[in-house]
Amino acid sequence: MVLAVLSKEDTYGYQITKDIQAHFAVSESTLYPVLRRLQKNGSLTTYDQPFQGRNRRYYRITVSGRALLEQYRKEWCTYKQQVDFFLDETLSA
């Protein structure tokens, strides 16, 4: 989800949390370790920008991050099809 949010635009951690929380129950403390891990594996880069006298850390998806997002999307489609098969079969019975 983090990579999908960042594929649209660079943004900062709190905004990423709010964007995801609008559709999915997740805590802010859960997302910051994800951001650090994605940064460490080269999927994200960061830069700081001044905001109201402080620096705000922005995250940007990298080329390898976009490739990883595409891989996740394909895996999700496969997984969703498999689950839908069983759910649809159960509903038909």
Q: What angle do CA 29, 34, 39 make, to 5 degrees?
A: 130
First to last CA, the chain: 34
Q: Has this prediction a pTM greater than 0.75? A: yes
| DSSP H or E stretch at residue 47 | strand 44-51
Q: Which residue range forms the structural domain that includes residue 74?
A: 2-92
Residue 64 belongs to domain with CATH number: 1.10.10.10
What is the number of structural domains in the chain? 1
For 47-90, write each residue's pLDDT tens digit: 999 999 999 999 999 999 999 999 999 999 999 999 998 888 66
